[in-house]
Amino acid sequence: MQHPRGQRVQRSRRKGSLMPAGAVYVGRPTMWGNPFMARRWGHAKSVILHRRWLKGELAALSLERMGFCPSEVDTLQRLRARVLTNLHRLAGVDLACWCPVSSPWCHAELLLDLAPQYAEFEQVCA
C-alpha cells in the first residue's frame, strides 16, 4: 500500500496564528528536532548533517571528530534509534517547523520523505 506524503507547514509567531489541525511540530525540543544546531553549523550544513545522521552515514568516530564528546555521541545514537523506530508515525502527516516553506534546507523535508517508506516497512513486518 502506498502511504501518502504529508506537507511542510511553516510555524508563525504572529498573534492569533495556529498550527493546522493534525500537524506535528518537528522542531526542538521534540524528538523530531534536528540535533545539529544551525547556530553552530550554519542552516544548510545542519540539514545536511541531519540527513547523513539519520541515514547512518555519521558513525561515532565522525561525530567525535566533529567535536562531540563520547556521551553526546551515545545520546545521538540513542536518539537516532528512537526517531527511526517511530518515523512510521509521521506518514501522511503535515509537519510544522520554523523554516520558510520556500527554503530548500529543512530537516522536515527528510522526515516527510522517509516516513512513508518506514510506514510501508512497518506494515509489511506487522
For residue range 24-72, list pLDDT tens digits in order: 999 989 999 999 999 999 999 999 999 999 999 999 999 999 999 999 9
CA distance 14 to 20: 14
What is the CA angle 103-81-50, rounded to 5?
25
Domain boundaries, the chain: 8-125
CA distance 43 to 7: 20
Q: Which of 72, 95, 75, 100 is nearest to 12 (CA)?
A: 100
In this predicted structure, what is the pLDDT of residue 120? 66
